[in-house]
Amino acid sequence: MLAARDTIATTLTWIFCDLAQNPDIVSIIRNELSPIASRKVALGASTPVIFEPIMPSGHEVHAGDTIFVSVHSMGRMEGVWGKDCFDYNPRRWLSDDDNNLRYIPSHKFLAFNAGPRMCLGKDIALMQMKTVIATAVWNFDVKVVEGQSIQPKPSIILEMKNGLIVKLKKREM
């Protein structure tokens, strides 16, 4: 995973270096954070809690039950994505004129969670993936090496059980 780890780490290093040399700014920050932190503690944890044992679907959920949302399954629901839900169709993200991205509510695509708990790194992660994909596709022909057993490895993050070996061939331009 690329994420923004290096950028964030570098920026935080410089910020903490500056703060260490400016204790007056640290005091201002602490004074502003104090009432915010107190209010958050008063409101409770940010983890959502549901006290009703019956969900809108009619299913009963009791204390100690484990609930798992399968993002993999949600991405293949015909009621959400249409009859071609099992097809690789990047065009589904485009508007009818193919010139803009289609608005897709975040609750339909939970890879980055949704609502106020959405992943803060979503935009950075998407940008990095687009950059890597665009660069690789522009500069190389990418081929999957034949004879591999391509199987999912069930876990929270759906990885390939045996990894994936590809061949890159520099494009003639």
Which residues belong to the annotated binding site for heme?
119
User: Alpha-carbon distance 126 to 143, whole Å?
Assistant: 23
Binding residues: 119
